[in-house]
Amino acid sequence: MDRQVVWGFLGAAGIAEKNWASVQRSGNGILKFVGSRDVAKAQAFIDRCQASAPFEKAPEAVEGYEEILADPEIDAVYIPLPTGLRKDWVIRAAEAGKHVLCEKPCAPKAADLEEMIAACEANQVQFMDGVMFMHNPRLSEIVKVVEKGDELGKLRRIESCFSFFGEDDFSDNIRVNSKLEPLGALGDLGWYCVRMSLCCCEGDLPVRVRATLFEEKNGVPVDLRGDLIFSDSRTASFHCSFNTTLEQSCRISGTKGALTLDDFVLPCDNQKAAFTIERQEEVGEGSNFSTRSLNREVELTGEAESQKTLLFRNFGKLVLRGERDSYWPEISLLTQRVMDALLESALGDGGMVELD
Amino acid sequence: MDRQVVWGFLGAAGIAEKNWASVQRSGNGILKFVGSRDVAKAQAFIDRCQASAPFEKAPEAVEGYEEILADPEIDAVYIPLPTGLRKDWVIRAAEAGKHVLCEKPCAPKAADLEEMIAACEANQVQFMDGVMFMHNPRLSEIVKVVEKGDELGKLRRIESCFSFFGEDDFSDNIRVNSKLEPLGALGDLGWYCVRMSLCCCEGDLPVRVRATLFEEKNGVPVDLRGDLIFSDSRTASFHCSFNTTLEQSCRISGTKGALTLDDFVLPCDNQKAAFTIERQEEVGEGSNFSTRSLNREVELTGEAESQKTLLFRNFGKLVLRGERDSYWPEISLLTQRVMDALLESALGDGGMVELD
């Protein structure tokens, strides 16, 4: 067997359950440890996951995370801890020489993330955030369409939304705990909208942003709109909310056409990854423009594997090659800087906040 | 033949060409006059329209509009003049006892529209604006779905956009002439977005609004986002632009589901009027929510006639019955008041503007 990346999970959260299967399917990784403050919780997690997606050798449950970082066999750690706790453990993992796959939002503030990334760089380990759609081949196809421009024309606008409805007992949820998840819906959901916008704008930072806070709970945004103003007449807006039904649509519009996808975060179907391009036929005088649009369904079949598997496989490839790719920490930091500015606007008077 | 509404058009603008055919197909109206400052222009307009949708007796071209208002046979006038010129002619038409179908935005300011409507009321004539989708049976079906709530849950959000791309020579277009069309894209396109939001909110006014001006030309908004905050956690946002390809989509979201239509202003197909309802299956713990949505395509076949024909037919019915319906001036005025507040925000610092 080829050499495998040996993983440890710092935490047994719900999201880690999904990612257990991703490591298992990655083909280049094995999971050695699952750590939790409560070892019984880690063991129960392992039993549950092992029943549905078993590793040849069942991972071990450990109490806390130190033992994982101390183990010389461990190459990489996945950190699904709450945002408020990530900084410390990312830095300790880096100092222990472990590569770090970190859930998003990576940190409460960009300044925290800068320290985290600096620690990874000083210790020559890879940093990457857990945005799965970055690894979907659909994204690179979309970016190609945007950059090529023959179908969409000049990029003008990215409009996206990501929301789900939290039931009445939602105010006890960790997602609205101001210590653990201070960015609330902005970090949990808006992170994807901002990232998608940055990807369409080739990683340019917006010149300025503003946010309208529609609702907060426990001092945490739960329903918010953001506007990002880039150079060259490009703008992006998004809505993220725990108050509205599940939505995850994105529309990328240019001067000549628009590209839409209704499942930009979590594709509805892992076997294909479609998007639609509509182009206006013509605009006549007065209000006599034609409204028939020319739809083009683009179905990508290429790599028929889920983006969550590709996230772990791609990370694993870097580790096994002994390469580090600076794109990943850079795009996380840009995203986090936009978060800072949006939160400043949202918690202030909703005015424009400049980025530099 | 049953009695017909006798129409006069005050202006021979591009949009009137579309509405010529609507009168012709309405079944209850005939067009007697087309007025223009340049009588030759009116005659050319008549010749062109008569060739494609002929009235039994060709309408007469007249210079100016006075002769139309003075003619005792005229029941109703359609006013497609530029926004900056409408007030005077609406009031003069009302004083001449003519019912008024007025293009939108009805006026530069709500105060102007109040005077216009007061003149119509004083003279007991019907006032209605030219928003065609108000007459599409699809709209009442949508409003029923929103009000019933069993599929969408509690209404939370209306997100809409209406844009088209004006070519390079667009800065000479009347749409960005600050005297004639001072509301620019907000009036030309945003009017529909605001109206749709008001319809979904049962005519409630937003409590406050704000707008982000992305670009202006000649002091006129050409690219703008608006946010409307209603009571009961309902919000609406929209984008209107002359800088982006043709888009006219609307998404109405509740706590349980979302209704989408991609052609809310001008239906792509006059034979059917579809919309889609999506409902999330379930949201599990962690990030394990299911993203499969349950789509329901609702195709309305009922009245297989275009909304633009229904606009003129419905107006004609009121005239022929000798009835006046106060809903129409009221909804125009509410829309115009939201326009005032949005424009104040857009041309100011983009802050919140309260409505009362």
Nearest to B15 among A152, A287, A351 (CB): A287
Tell me if B253 and A244 make a contact (CB, 8 A cut-off): yes
Question: Phi and psi at residue B336, in whole multiples of 5°?
Answer: -65, -35
Q: What is the three-class DSSP state of B319?
A: helix
Domain extent, residue A153, equals: 135-307+336-354
Tell me if B288 and A15 make a contact (CB, 8 A cut-off): yes
Give the amino acid at B131: V
| Short-list B121, B80, B126, CA closest to B99 | B126
Q: For chain B, say whether A293 makes contact (Cβ under 8 Å).
A: yes
Whether residues B44 and B171 fall in one domain: no
A118 belongs to a structural domain? yes
CA atoms within 13 A of residue A219's CA, in its CB half-sphere: 7
Query: Nearest residue of A to residue B280 by CA position?
Result: A246
Whether residues B127 and B213 fall in one domain: no
Distance from CA of A209 to the nearest CA of B (A): 10
Identify the domain boundary among B73, B106, B133.
B133
How many angstroms separate the CA atoms of B337 and B356, rounded? 10
Residues in A touching B235 (Cβ below 8 Å): 214, 223, 225
Give the amino acid at A131: V
Q: For chain B, say whether A291 makes contact (Cβ under 8 Å).
A: yes
pLDDT value at position B39? 96
Characterize A316-326 residue by residue with b for buried, 16 or more Cβ atoms within 10 angstroms of its Cβ, and e for exposed.
bebbeeeebee
Interface of B with A in 165-224 (CB under 8 A): 165, 210, 212, 214-215, 223
Whether residues B144 and B236 fall in one domain: yes
| Short-list A252, A251, A249, A258, CA closest to A280 | A258
Whether residues B55 and B179 fall in one domain: no
| CATH number of the CATH domain containing A31 | 3.40.50.720
Whether residues A72 and A153 fall in one domain: no
Interface of B with A in 296-355 (CB under 8 A): 349-352
CA atoms within 13 A of residue A28's CA, in its CB half-sphere: 15
CA torsion angle B197 B201 B204 B207 (round to 10): -70
Q: For chain B, say whether A41 makes contact (Cβ under 8 Å).
A: no
Residues in B touching A132 (Cβ below 8 Å): none
Whether residues B96 and B148 fall in one domain: no
Q: For chain A, say whether B103 makes contact (Cβ under 8 Å).
A: no
Query: Nearest residue of B to residue A349 by CA position?
Result: B351
Nearest to B291 among A233, A251, A263 (CB): A263
pLDDT value at position A296? 73
B350 belongs to a structural domain? yes
Whether residues A122 and A242 fall in one domain: no
Helix and strand tally (H, E) in chain A? 10, 16
B193 belongs to a structural domain? yes
pLDDT value at position B18? 81
Q: For chain B, say whether A103 makes contact (Cβ under 8 Å).
A: no
The tokens describing A161, both together, are 């939304």
pLDDT value at position A31? 97
Whether residues A345 and A197 fall in one domain: yes
Whether residues B210 and B232 fall in one domain: yes
The tokens describing A125, both together, are 């380990």
Whether residues B81 and B151 fall in one domain: no
Question: Phi and psi at residue B128, in whole multiples of 5°?
Answer: -150, 145
Higher pLDDT, A273 or A219: A219
A316 belongs to a structural domain? no
Identify the domain boundary among B117, B133, B149.
B133
* Residue of B52, B151, B161, B245 to mutate for A, most A C-beta atoms under 10 A: B245
A314 belongs to a structural domain? no
> Which ipTM score applies to this complex?
0.92
Number of domains observed in the structure of chain B: 2
Q: For chain B, say whether A129 makes contact (Cβ under 8 Å).
A: no
The tokens describing A329, both together, are 């920490």
Identify the domain boundary among B133, B162, B188.
B133
pLDDT, tens digit, for every residue of A35-46?
Answer: 999 999 999 999
**Strands A60-63 and A29-36: what pairing?**
parallel
Going by pLDDT thresholds of 50, 70 and 90, the confidence category of residue A17 is confident
pLDDT value at position A266? 87
pLDDT in tens, chain B (356 residues): 689 999 999 999 777 788 999 999 999 999 999 999 999 999 999 999 999 999 999 999 999 999 999 999 999 999 999 999 999 999 999 999 999 999 999 999 999 999 999 999 999 999 999 999 999 989 999 999 999 999 999 999 999 999 999 877 777 888 889 999 999 999 999 999 999 999 999 989 999 999 999 999 999 999 999 999 999 999 999 999 999 999 999 999 999 999 999 889 988 766 667 899 988 766 554 455 555 566 777 777 665 578 999 999 999 999 999 999 999 999 999 999 999 999 999 999 999 999 98
Distance from CA of B2 to the nearest CA of A (A): 31
pLDDT, tens digit, for every residue of A104-163?
Answer: 999 999 999 999 999 999 999 999 999 999 999 899 999 999 999 999 999 999 999 999
Please state, as a whole number, how many other Cβ atoms lie within 10 Å of the Cβ of residue B301.
9
- Residue A157 CA: distances (Å) to CA of A128, A160, B211: 27, 10, 16
Please check whether residue B139 is in contact with residue B131, taking contact to mean a CB–CB distance below 8 angstroms. no
**Strands B5-10 and A353-354: what pairing?**
unpaired
pLDDT value at position A270? 61
A281 belongs to a structural domain? yes
Tell me if A284 and B245 make a contact (CB, 8 A cut-off): no
The tokens describing A133, both together, are 């759609």
Whether residues A169 and A302 fall in one domain: yes
- Check whether A302 has a pLDDT greater than 70: no
Query: Between vectors from CA A45 to CA A39 and to CA A47, what angle results, nearest 5°?
Result: 105
pLDDT, tens digit, for every residue of B174-209?
Answer: 888 999 999 999 999 999 999 999 999 998 999 999
Q: For chain A, say whether B151 makes contact (Cβ under 8 Å).
A: no
pLDDT, tens digit, for every residue of A225-256?
Answer: 999 999 999 999 999 999 999 999 999 999 99
How many angstroms separate the CA atoms of A331 and A308, rounded? 18
| CATH number of the CATH domain containing B235 | 3.30.360.10
Interface of B with A in 255-274 (CB under 8 A): 255-258, 262-263, 265-268
| pLDDT above 70 coverage of chain A, percent | 94
Whether residues B175 and B298 fall in one domain: yes
- Total length of chain A: 356
pLDDT value at position B173? 86
A285 belongs to a structural domain? yes
Going by pLDDT thresholds of 50, 70 and 90, the confidence category of residue A283 is low
Nearest to A243 among B163, B233, B267 (CB): B233
| pLDDT above 90 coverage of chain A, percent | 80
pLDDT, tens digit, for every residue of A183-206?
Answer: 999 999 999 999 999 999 998 999
The tokens describing B256, both together, are 């349980």
Tell me if B225 and A227 make a contact (CB, 8 A cut-off): yes
- Check whether A214 has a pLDDT greater than 70: yes
Determine the average pLDDT of the residues in A21-30.
Answer: 94
A148 belongs to a structural domain? yes
How many angstroms separate the CA atoms of B315 and B98, rounded? 13
